[in-house]
């Protein structure tokens, strides 16, 4: 057991939660990386993220919205089921695949721009292409 403890200490395992200044710097670093993505990668990644969120919404409507007996007997539980299947599933797929949602780009690339780690033109590119990609992905899935 003592040997395992010394191995863990030697590896310097990072904490699971960073203090706010470190978390902010991590977001700035991630925003700078997002700002440097090629336009084609950003657009394709945005399309995938839009489709994932759209699929989550579809799942919420088909599972949670298709429970009329539950809605009549326990409307709160029906709303819980509706919410538990939609956004969490779409976000889970988006995060695991590393695709680009407009909201993440709006937050992180803006931080990088304010900290002068990205240029305003990169922020504009990131916002426009991620929004357009999310829109194409969501509408494309709806068709």
Distance CA 32, CA 115 (A): 10
Least confident residue range of 78-82, 92-96, 99-103, 123-127: 78-82
Total H helices, total E strands in the chain: 8, 0
What's the whole-model pTM score? 0.80
Least confident residue range of 5-14, 24-33, 56-65, 97-106: 5-14
Tokens of 116: 């002068």
The pLDDT of residue 7 is above 80: no
Q: What is the mean pLDDT of the chain?
A: 88
Answer yes or no: are the C-beta atoms of 53 and 101 closer than 8 Å: yes
């Amino acid at each position: 057991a003592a040997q395992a403890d010394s191995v863990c200490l030697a590896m310097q395992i990072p904490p699971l939660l960073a203090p706010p200044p470190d978390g902010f710097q991590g977001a700035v670093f991630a925003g700078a990386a997002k700002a440097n993505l090629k336009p084609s990668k950003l657009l394709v990644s945005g399309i995938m993220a839009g489709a994932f969120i759209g699929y989550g919404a579809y799942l919420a409507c088909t599972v949670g919205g298709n429970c009329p007996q539950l809605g009549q007997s326990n409307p709160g539980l029906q709303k819980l089921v509706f919410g538990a299947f939609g956004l969490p599933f779409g976000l889970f797929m988006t995060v695991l695949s590393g695709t680009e949602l407009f909201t993440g780009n709006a937050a992180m690339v803006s931080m990088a721009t304010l900290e002068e780690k990205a240029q305003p033109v990169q922020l504009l590119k990131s916002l426009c292409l991620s929004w357009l990609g999310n829109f194409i992905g969501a509408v494309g899935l709806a068709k």
